[in-house]
Amino acid sequence: QVQLVDAGGGLVQAGDSLRLSCTLSGSASSSNGVGWFRQAPGKEREFVAAKRWIGGGTYSADFAKGRFAISRDRSNSAVYLQMDNLKPEDTAVYYCAAGNPIISTIRTVAGYRYWGQGTQVTVSS
C-alpha cells in the first residue's frame, strides 16, 4: 500500500524556484508530523524542514531558513516544500516523510515511519 508519493523535482538554474509536493494516503495521512529530508551523493540523509499539526511548530534546517518553506494541506492530504533562490549545493534527492515525531526526534530520520520514494532536484550554476 503506497503511503507517500513525492514529486516536483527537476533541473533548474541557480536562483530559480521549485515546489515539491507529497501526497499522503492510508495511515500516513493521519500522521501528526510531516517533513522533508534530502540526500546528496555520498552523504547521509539530512533534515530540511518539518511541521507538526498537533502541538504546532515549524522547524527548518539553518540552510533552509529564509529560502525554503514547508506547508501542509490536510484537506487533500498533501505536503509542500517551496524552495526559492536555489543553489548548486541544494542538489540532492528530496524525500517527504510522515510520522509522529516528538520534539527531540523531529529533525531525525528515526522520527518518521513513512517515506516517499524521493524526487531528484538538480541545480546548475
How do residues 56-111 score in pLDDT, each as one tens digit? 789 999 999 999 999 988 777 899 999 999 999 999 999 999 999 988 999 999 99
* DSSP structural state of residue 5: E
Q: Closest Cα partner for 72 from 97, 107, 94?
A: 97
Residue of 90, 109, 103 whose CA lies nearest to 45: 109
Instruction: Find the mean pLDDT for residues 119-123.
Output: 98
Copy the grid coordinates of residue 33. 508530523
Block residue for cell numbers 530540511: 48
Angle at 5 between CA 115 and CA 121, to 5 degrees: 85
